[in-house]
Each structure stands twice: as structure tokens, then as C-alpha cells.
Structure 1
């Protein structure tokens, strides 16, 4: 399934993207009536309910789509009319992986890590597809883009083996690990430059793992104002997705909805010679596109 979280009346709502349009889950549940809803089970109305409800919620959602045959009962929406939210809205943790592409480590003159480098963002950094991102011009002039594959956890994972790690993944989405480089490098801790408001757009879709297939073989690219800045493949990651999930789970319990941003390829502004660096400016349009996951686009605006 391809899922979106959209905003209506200041609330996040769940949609399923299909060839017919976007299935408005909440409106469809109201339309079919209480008796039919009871037969389907606990149909999730938000992406958080879906992730936390596990297999039972997924099954109820699938039954909603498959068993209601009257086209006048289900409520379909035009995707272009929807206001996107982050495709995962309330993660317990946003865990980021640093220097996870060899060429990116080389361009920043850093050593290729022997263990995954972990840091974090917070929920304040979340935003959605087509949402404007204010540049924090009062504190930083060096904002950089980072196209990343995001792993979304679907089951509680504690000390799982690499061989079983992907069984705990619900799905994947595009992410942009926006970074204020001057703040990031102000101290030995990267957090300040990574967790500014709206510095973690996710979306537009959360795509279930069965539709993605091998997450370690996906084309990934980033464009700024239509110009390709990053282009690589997730097969170039130092630590692949299964190894990351397993490694993190050895040290902390992963729960449904947790996000792992898996690192960025080469091509960031910080990797250029100093005289060639042009960081993001108001009006710049950044698009992150990963194979099978659609394209995540955001415009930078003045604070």
C-alpha cells in the first residue's frame, strides 16, 4: 500500500493512494455505517493508529478497500486537493545515521565509519511534502540538503538479528535531513544544526515494505531548482538497512513508528570547495526522489 497523511481541520487523517484517487479512510468509515465497520474490525483513522495497530490494523484497512464494492460508498479524494502532512506524524524516535555513504564521507574529508554514527532529530523537525521550510536566517546562513531513505519501524524490535531485521520494518519513505552546517559544526555534537523546525520533511508517501522490495538497491537523487545535486543508489551505503535496524536494536528498543534516516550520498553543498559553496536560499526548491517512493518537494522561504 501507498499511504499518505493529510491535514484537514488541523487534524491528521489517513489516505490510501490508488489508481482511482486517494481513499479517505475516515470519511469512508463514516459512510459505510457502524454495523459494517464492526464487521471490518478496528479500521485505523491515522497513520499512527495504523502503525501501532500492527497486522490487525493493516488487515482491517485492506478489508475496507476490498469488501466494500459499492463505488458510491467509499470516499475518494483528488490528491492535488489535499494538504500533505509528514507521512509519519508522531514517531517515538527519529534516529539519523551519519556518513553512511563512502563518497559522502570522502567529500567531507571524514573517515569512513567502522560503526554506524547515530544522532537524532525531534518531532518539531517534521513537515510534509509541498510544505514551505523557513530558513533560520537569524542563526544560520549555511543550510544544506541531504536526500535520505527513511526506514519506518512496524514492530517492536529489541536485539534482533540482521537476518530477521527487515521483518520489523513497516515501510519506507523519502526524507530530507536538512542541516545548518555552521550550527552543526559549532560543537562536537551535531544536534543543534539538525533539529531546527521543519528540518525533517518526510513523504509524500509511506510505502509498505512489500511494495518496495529490496531497500538496499534503490535509486536516490536530489535536485535543487531542477538541477541534479545528488544521484546514487542505496547499494552504496556503508551499513545497509538490515544491519542498521539490527545494530540500533541492540542498544535501544525500536517501536512502531520509529524512523531511521539512513544517511545521504555525496553531492551536498558542504562537500564542495569553500569558494564554490552556495547554501540554500529563500525561493530554492529541493526535491528528493527515491525509486518506488515518489518525490518529496519543499520550497525554502525566508524565516
Structure 2
């Protein structure tokens, strides 16, 4: 299924996308699915009833009429891995990591899939794009074996790990350069894991003003999604609705010669096989 958070003048709501309609799940189950995190927590119990709602074309709204929000407007955690595609490692001029390199993005950086993205006042001239597969955690877990990690992933989205390179390079820790408001757009919906199948066989692209800048496949991940889940849970408990940005491929603006950073009115589109696309223009903060 494809799950969205949207608004139509009634505040944020949760629904299932079916063709060009959104089935209003939150209205049918206000105590169990008023938010996406609630829906994820209650998914196993609710799923048969949701399938029946979709089949009966329960109360719905037009997809084109709705304002899509970030599928999870305020995730508990946004974790992101660096240097996880060989071509991106090569263009960065860095050694292949022996261990997974992690940083966090502030939960306040979560952003809708089609809303304008900020060129921040603090550093408007070194803003970059990074197309990434985003994994959404479905149930709480700690010390998860890699062999079991797949069962903890609820679904997947398109994501853009927007990066302010000037701030990223100020310190060895990348968190500030990755955490500006609006700099974690993702969506347009969560596609449940059963519908995606193998997340390591997804072609993806990033286009800037229609020009293809990144084009790769998740089969080229250095550390795959399930090894990422296993590694993170050696340290922290992952919870329903937490996000994992799984790494970007070669082709980022900072690696071009000369570097090509984003400017006002530039439009960045991230496309993933089976997951749809997100697309937004950049505008001054």
C-alpha cells in the first residue's frame, strides 16, 4: 500500500492512495490512525480492516486536491549514513569506510515532498542535493540481527538529504550541515515493504532543472539497508516512524568541476522505482 499524510482544511490526516484517490483511513479509525506513527504502530491489527476500506471505496478525496505533507511530519529520529556508494566515495576523494559512518538530521528538517525548500540565510550558496532511499521503521527493536532486520522495516520513500556544504565542513560532525529546516524532504508516500519487495534492486535518479545529475541503483549500496538497521540498533532502540536515509550515489553538485550548488528557483526531482518521486523548488529562507 501507499500511505500518505495530507491536509484538506481539517488538519493533518492519514490515508491510503488508490489510483487518483486518497482513502481517509484516519477518519475511519480516529483512535488508532490519527497520525502515521499511530497507524504504523497499529498496522498489523488494522491492515485487514484497511484493506476492506480500500476495496469498498470508503470516504475518499482526490489526490490532486490534497496537500501532501511529509508522511511522518515529525519523526522521532532521522538517521543518515555517509559515503555508502562507491562512486560517491570516489568523487569525494575519500577512502572507503571500514565501518558505517552515521550522522543525524534534526526532526525539524522533515519536510513535505513538493513544498519549497529553503536556501538558508546562514549559508545560501553551498546548498546541495543527495537522492536517497529512505527506510521507515515499523516496530521497536534493539540489538536486531541483520537476518531479522527486514521484519523491522515498515516501508520506503524517496528522500533528498539536502546538505549545506559550508556548514557540513565546519566540524568533523556533519549534523548541523545536514539539519537546516526543510532539508529532509521525503515521500510522497510510504510504500509498504511487501509492495516494494527487495529494496536493493531499485533504480533511482536525481534531476536538477530537468538535467540528470544522479542515476544509480540501490544494489550498489556499500552497506545494505538491513545491515544499517542491525548496526544502528547496537547503539539505540529504533522505534516506529524513525527514518533511515540510506546514502547517496555519485553526482552531487559539490563534486562537479567546478562545483554546482543550488540557487533560487532551481527545481530538484528525486525519482525511485516503485516509490514515485518528490520534487521541489529552492527559495530564500
Q: 1:290 maps to which residue?
A: 272
Aligned to 1:233: 217
**Is 1:48 the counterpart of 2:32 in the alignment?**
no
Q: Cα 1:270–1:19, aligned 2, differ >3 Å: closer, same or farther?
A: same
Structure 1: runs of 5+ lacking an equivalent: 30-36
Provide the C-alpha distance between the structure 1 equivalents of 2:256 and 2:101, rounded to a whole number of angstroms.
22
How far residue 257 of structure 1 moved from its aligned partner, in angstroms, is 0.5
Partner of 1:176: 160
- Count of aligned pairs between the two proteins: 285
Shift of 1:158: 1.1
Unaligned runs of 5+ in 2: none
The 3 A distance-change label for structure 1 pair 96 and 10 is farther
CA distance in 2, matches of 1:259, 1:201: 12
Aligned counterpart in structure 1 of residue 181 of structure 2, from 186, 193, 197: 197
Structure showing greater Rg: 1
Match of 1:13 in 2: 13
Matched position secondary structure for 1:151: strand
Q: Confirm or deny that 1:128 pairs with 2:117.
A: no
Is the contact between residue 42 and residue 57 of structure 1 (CA under 8 Å) also seen in structure 2? Answer: no
Q: How does 1:269-280 map to 2 (within 5 A)?
A: 269-273=253-257, 276-280=258-262
Q: Secondary structure at the match of 2:226?
A: helix
Alpha-carbon distance in structure 2 between the residues aligned to 1:230 and 1:20: 29
Give the Cα–Cα distance (whole angstroms) in 2 for the partners of residues 199 and 148 of structure 1. 13
Alignment of 1:81-160 (within 5 A): 81-160=65-144
Q: 1:214 aligns with which of 198, 204, 208?
A: 198
CA distance in 2, matches of 1:93, 1:101: 23
The alpha carbon displacement at 1:89 in A equals: 2.1
Residue 282 of structure 2: aligned partner: 300
Deviation of residue 129 (structure 1)?
1.6
**Which has the larger share of helix?**
1
- Measured in 2, the distance between the counterparts of 1:92 and 1:8 equals 25
Q: Which residue of 2 aligns with 1:64?
A: 53
- Say what the alpha-carbon RMSD is for the aligned residues: 1.7
In 2, the alpha carbon distance for the partners of 1:3 and 1:42 equals: 17
Which is further off, 53-62 or 165-174?
53-62
Q: 1:252 offset after TM fit, Å?
A: 1.0
Shift of 1:214: 0.3
